């Protein structure tokens, strides 16, 4: 997986916003006041147009890029057995030779689409570990000798918050401002030694 380019891009974007657009810094010490949008100005699910005009491309980040393929697979696989992707699998090398990394791993995981209407991007792919332990490469079965843990990626998102359009400080119904925020998104799983025996 090529996570580094997307992560570097998002870090660069946050730095640029902090230097060139105080209204989007989104932290308590920023000197600018975020623009307060009405629902008519900016429909739900859209980001501020001046931010998009700067070339912000969340689609380069893995958690965003995976969403469309996950949703398409979900529509195709509605009649498949749900237990097939939610339990720790038995690893059979002959069955996973052509599978994706998350299915061949000894700490396998699946992806689910996390939706948050107050966040942009609204939909992100979150990884979920399928095993508490890890799969023994010799037996193909789960072992407690190792633990599965999630790998987290820091991702810059925009967060919608209520705001006041008349300067009174009281939230205007339906009005909102965008604030930048870093969140930790699980992008995969790996095996580690247990903290205790």
Highest mean predicted confidence (pLDDT) among 28-32, 71-75, 81-85, 165-169? 71-75
**Beta-carbon contacts of residue 166 (< 8 Å; ≥ 6 apart):** 172
Structural domains of the chain in order of their starting residue, each with its CATH number: 49-75+90-192 (2.10.90.10)
* Residue 193 predicted with pLDDT over 90: yes
Backbone angles phi, psi at 100, to 5 degrees: -75, 165
Is the overall model pTM greater than 0.85, yes or no? no
CA distance 70 to 186: 15
Output the pLDDT for position 71. Answer: 92
Backbone angles phi, psi at 51, to 5 degrees: -75, -45
Output the pLDDT for position 32. Answer: 57
Percent of the chain with pLDDT over 90: 37
Q: Are 142 and 135 in contact (CB under 8 A)?
A: yes
CA distance 81 to 195: 35
pLDDT band at 179 (very low <50, low <70, confident <90, very high): confident
pLDDT band at 165 (very low <50, low <70, confident <90, very high): confident
Per-residue burial over 125-159, b if 16 or more Cβ lie within 10 Å, else e, is: bbbebbbebbbeeeeeebeeebbbebbebebbbbb
Output the pLDDT for position 15. Answer: 45
Output the pLDDT for position 190. Answer: 97
Output the pLDDT for position 56. Answer: 55
List pLDDT tens digits, range 47-103: 777 666 544 567 788 899 999 999 998 877 664 544 445 789 998 878 877 888 898
Mean pLDDT to the nearest integer, 98-119: 92
* Residue 13 predicted with pLDDT over 60: no
Q: Give me 7's structure tokens.
A: 């992560």
């Amino acid at each position: 997986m090529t996570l580094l380019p997307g992560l570097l891009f998002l870090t660069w974007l946050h730095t640029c916003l902090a230097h060139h657009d105080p209204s989007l810094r989104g932290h308590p010490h920023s000197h600018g006041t975020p623009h307060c949008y009405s629902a008519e100005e900016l429909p739900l699910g859209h980001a501020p147009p001046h931010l998009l005009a700067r070339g912000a491309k969340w689609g380069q980040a893995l958690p965003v890029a995976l969403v469309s393929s996950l949703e398409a697979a979900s529509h195709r696989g509605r009649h498949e057995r749900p237990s097939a992707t939610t339990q720790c699998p038995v690893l059979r090398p002959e069955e996973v030779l052509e599978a994706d990394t998350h299915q061949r791993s000894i700490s396998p995981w699946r992806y689910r689409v996390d939706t948050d209407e107050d966040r942009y991007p609204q939909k992100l792919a979150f990884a979920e570990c399928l095993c508490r332990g890890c799969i023994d490469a010799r037996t193909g079965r789960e072992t407690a000798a190792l633990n599965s843990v999630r790998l987290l990626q820091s991702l810059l998102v925009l967060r919608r918050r209520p705001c006041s359009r008349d300067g009174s400080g009281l939230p205007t119904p339906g009005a909102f401002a965008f604030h930048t925020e870093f969140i930790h998104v699980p992008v995969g799983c790996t095996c580690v030694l247990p903290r205790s025996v």
